[in-house]
Amino acid sequence: MSEISPGGTRGSTRLDHYVDRYAARTEGMKASEVRALFSVASRPEVVSLAGGMPNISDLPLDVVGKGIADLIAHDGPTAMQYGSGQGTPELREQICEVMRLEGIEAHPDDVVVTVGSQQAVDLVTRIFCDPGDVVLCEAPSYLGALGVFRAYEADIVHVEMDADGLVPEALEQAIAATKAAGRTIKFLYTIPNYHNPAGISLSAERRPEILRICREADILILEDNPYGLLGFDGRIHRALRADEPEGVIYLGSFSKTFAPGFRVGWALAPHAVREKLVLAQESATLCPSAFSQMAISRYLENHDWLGQVEAFRTMYKERRDAMVSALEDFMPATCRWNVPTGGFYVWLTLPPGIDAKAMLPRAVTARVAYVPGTAFFADGYGSSSMRLSFCYPTPERIREGVRRLAGVLEAEMEL
Ligand code: PMP
């Protein structure tokens, strides 16, 4: 196996026999700071506030198991065969029902099932981006998407967010400046609900404004919405796609509302784009797993899956509360954080002069892990910030993790 250092692949290590043969695009492939952390953070004594794994321990495994047994008994050969590159018609119809909760009226023909929404980000980038094209992203943005954009050698231009999400004036300025520099913007990548990593949602007032700006500038929107049903007050934001069918590609996922192990997500795209996506999907995987799709179809059909989402929401809200009250109790007064109304993440800003990445080894020694803010920017920003995930550890462990983190931070401030 070749050695991959966090610094990249090509030219990165003398131990790699193939170092001079990799394609130029591998320059953009870097092990994420989260991945480099996983081996340390997964030790049981470390409270990991780093990873974004959903907590699926309450899933009704008996129901899932019965559905799978039934699937094998009645539809086994189909489930274990190659399927359509676009996904099964049954699941695509169910996906349209799911999206209706967010105000979207869609036809199953315009849905492409993908291997998690991660693959949907990849396919969209594959069909749109040439090297040097610009993708607009929030500042900060989802590191898994930044990795995809880099892998296709797109340039990332960040756009400021505030407590109400993407700032419309900043978006206008970024579009104008990028166009004035003669660059081609291929799309705006945005996570409007319970943002990863910022924990923020785009306000209802701003949604039409963002749509108007992109419509007028003829910029496609890639709306990534894996957390949309996980609002703690049960409120469901209206999707951007609901009001702009032709200008938005919408991405959804079953990873957070059901289970990530099935690896099923989807893209809803304008009709012409959908055709290209299916071709890209066929060349990438031939087809998404029929077995996974059919198992999910049975779960959605035979179970109160929305009731389960409600239970997830209650569980995550409890964990959000545990994190926020621990932050209030333990963190130095000079720290700032937001109180997310859904999703998995809190964004913490440290006092000026404290570098979250430099502090990380000391935090891990103190048995707590987080993701430094720089991981979520393409341009080195974010050094005095970090993402704290409250999705996976129990409330007690979250409190203990925040207490440890505050101790590390106080020691750092005294240095
Ligand atoms: N987009 C965002 C914003 C995410 O947080 C994640 C998962 N962490 C994904 C996409 C990918 O999710 P999946 O591939 O499991 O659907």
From first to last of its 415 residues, the chain has per-residue pLDDT tens of 333 344 444 445 668 889 889 998 888 787 766 566 667 777 889 999 998 999 999 899 999 999 999 999 999 999 999 999 999 999 999 999 999 999 999 999 999 999 999 999 999 999 999 999 999 999 999 999 999 999 999 999 999 999 999 999 999 999 999 999 999 999 999 999 999 999 999 999 999 999 999 999 999 999 999 999 999 998 999 999 999 999 999 999 999 999 999 999 999 999 999 999 999 999 999 999 999 999 999 999 999 999 999 999 999 999 999 999 999 999 999 999 999 999 999 999 999 899 999 999 999 999 999 999 999 999 889 999 999 999 999 999 999 999 999 999 999 888 7
Biggest alpha carbon distance in the chain? 66
State whether the beta carbon of 308 lies less than 6 angstroms from ligand 1: no
CB 136 within 8 A of CB 219: yes
Residue 2: the pLDDT is 35
State whether the beta carbon of 224 lies less than 6 angstroms from ligand 1: yes
The alpha carbon of 151 and the centre of ligand 1 are apart by a number of angstroms equal to: 17
DSSP state of 8: B
State whether the beta carbon of 12 lies less than 6 angstroms from ligand 1: no
The alpha carbon of 245 and the centre of ligand 1 are apart by a number of angstroms equal to: 22
Residue 36: the pLDDT is 66
CB 201 within 8 A of CB 350: no
Residue 7: the pLDDT is 42
CB 196 within 8 A of CB 146: no
State whether the beta carbon of 223 lies less than 6 angstroms from ligand 1: no
Collapse the DSSP code of 181 into the 3-class scheme (helix H, G, I; strand E, B; otherwise coil) and give the result: coil
Residue 25: the pLDDT is 86
State whether the beta carbon of 144 lies less than 6 angstroms from ligand 1: yes
- Nearest protein CA to atom 13 of ligand 1, as residue: 116
> Ligand 1, residues 146, 191, 224: which to mutate, most atoms within 8 A of Cβ?
224
State whether the beta carbon of 117 lies less than 6 angstroms from ligand 1: yes
The alpha carbon of 14 and the centre of ligand 1 are apart by a number of angstroms equal to: 34
State whether the beta carbon of 191 lies less than 6 angstroms from ligand 1: yes
The alpha carbon of 17 and the centre of ligand 1 are apart by a number of angstroms equal to: 33
Residue 14: the pLDDT is 66
- Nearest protein CA to atom 9 of ligand 1, as residue: 118
The alpha carbon of 332 and the centre of ligand 1 are apart by a number of angstroms equal to: 32
Residue 13: the pLDDT is 60
Taking the C-alpha atoms of residue 142 and residue 38, their distance in angstroms, rounded to an integer, is 17
Q: What is the pTM of this model?
A: 0.94
Residue 94: the pLDDT is 98
Q: Which helix (H) or strand (E) holds 385?
A: strand 385-389
Residue 19: the pLDDT is 87
State whether the beta carbon of 116 lies less than 6 angstroms from ligand 1: yes
Taking the C-alpha atoms of residue 415 and residue 413, their distance in angstroms, rounded to an integer, is 6
State whether the beta carbon of 138 lies less than 6 angstroms from ligand 1: no
